[in-house]
Amino acid sequence: MKLSSDRQTTLAGAVSLQGIGVHSGNRADVTLQPADPGTGIVFTNRNPQTGSEVEFPAHWRAVSATALCTVLGDPKAGGVSTVEHLMAALRGLGVDNAIVEMDGPEMPIMDGSSDAFVAAIDSVGLRRQQAVRRYIRVKKAVRVDQGSAWCELRPHDGCRFDVTIDFEAEAIGRQSMVLDLSSETFRSELSRARTFGSVQDVKKLWSMGFALGSSLENSVAISDGKVMNPEGTRWRDEFVRHKMLDAVGDLALAGLPFLGLYRSYKGGHRMNHAILVELFENAGKDAFEIVEGAFERTAPALMDMPMLAVAQGAS
């Protein structure tokens, strides 16, 4: 890794997106605005009970739920759910500072990936700022175990994700992927990977009043071990790519980009949040440091790993 001068970035202009919330099925609008250096990513919304404006940072301390998606604050009081796909796009494209203006409790799900957010950011471009970018450098390994699932952060020269999933469904099976994160690799390898789930699980969520906006237009649906979407999958290993996309978005809630290796097995939103709590609250001050500068990489960005099972008949 070679350290050099690096500057923070923000959006070059405002851009809006419209869609539906995956849980409510209601219209959901969001506007991304430029922000001053050092602002970070900040969400603004209206408290539906009082009508007053609520503002909170995209930060791991603001996470209130991780069961079905990543939720910041209390959606009944101006918080917002399903932030991970937008956060992945902002981190993946290197946006340091932005204001995210909401008009309700959910981010629009769009097609279930980060693709629409990437396109929106590209439509206005980025503006380089005078402030130097800062990074969180992992200095010692930290780990979280939950049953057979685990995740960890380790020292590494750069920002690398190493994710393995293992599902009983024949269409998914066990899939692994390793990626050195950059704007180029995020665009080409992760941004279009869609969320997924079983039809049986979605029916249960519907009966509980959740996932009312879920459809084949914004999810990859699995039934009887097969992909139900007529177009199939975008990659044969789209499932692990989406899990990595989620990890990029969830770890962006560290508040700064990190220099380190993130590894997970059967991970998800809960464990992605848990590893940040472990790093910042439990591992001690010697587990990380804040550094300034950039890293330049000469190693290959993407490393294929053997997959013991992949989607059958998927394209």
Residue 15 three-state SS: strand
Tokens of 170: 């024949």
Q: Is 23 annotated as a binding residue?
A: no
Amino acid at 143: R
Give the whole-angstrom CA distance, residue 54 versus residue 58: 13
Catalytic pick from 23, 156, 269, 273? 269
269 has catalytic annotation: yes
| Residue in this structure with the two tokens 């050195």, named with its chain if needed | 180
Give the whole-angstrom CA distance, residue 117 versus residue 106: 15
| Residue in this structure with the two tokens 């177009």, named with its chain if needed | 231
Q: What is the DSSP letter of 193?
A: P
Give the whole-angstrom CA distance, residue 277 versus residue 153: 12
Give the whole-angstrom CA distance, residue 143 versus residue 264: 9
Amino acid at 116: A
Q: Is 273 annotated as a binding residue?
A: no
Return the active site residues: 269
Annotated binding site for Zn(2+): 85, 242, 246
